[in-house]
Amino acid sequence: MTPPKRYRKHVALTDLQSRRLTELSEFDGTDPMEHAKRAIDEYLQKQKLDFTPPKENDIRAEFRDHSGDANVQGAFWVSGTVDKYEFSALILKLPSKLGLDRGKISKVAIWDPEVLKNTGNFIGSCIVNYDRGWDIKPSKIAEPYFNKVKALLVQSAEQFIKNRFLR
């Protein structure tokens, strides 16, 4: 049997949560970690795990805008929508070793505009963020959206470069 995956993440409890956990453990004599594991198991059992991500063919992605980057010579920004999400990407004229798959896509972010509006936290609203390296890799749910955006960017990058730089 293979051991379960371990992730290098931790959960920080609030002071109130720590006090309540300590009180509960003192009351019944059970280890605080056992209470935490039970709470996590109970939470996971209530989750809906039968979600099926949409197929890439069913996802609609389109450009909304593109403009040159005043700070980077030979680069331009594109933005658009992919179903309910929005995306933004920095396309370079030439491939880069820091580009996505060593290509011309230097930065790409896909985010939920509703979450951004409600929280005001851009990174918290991102489902994908690549900024010369992965900040937020696409999850299984986000992967079809990322693949659709990436295909659109790769397909359109050459046309944008011809229009922008070869006039």
Write out the residue range of the structural domain in which residue 41 sits: 15-46
d(CA 134, CA 154): 18
Tell me the mean pLDDT in the region 129-140.
Answer: 92
Same domain for 28 and 76: no
Same domain for 146 and 107: yes
80 burial level (CB within 10 Å; 0-12, 13-18, 19+): buried
Is residue 3 in some structural domain? no
Of residues 64 and 37, the one with the higher pLDDT is: 37
Q: What is the pLDDT of residues 66-103, one digit of tens each?
A: 676 556 677 888 888 988 899 999 988 888 899 888 98
d(CA 61, CA 165): 24
Same domain for 94 and 142: yes
d(CA 73, CA 93): 9
**C-beta neighbour count of 106 within 10 angstroms:** 20
Same domain for 115 and 152: yes
d(CA 83, CA 93): 27
Same domain for 38 and 67: no
The number of distinct structural domains making up the chain is 2
Same domain for 123 and 66: yes
Same domain for 103 and 132: yes
Record the pTM. 0.64
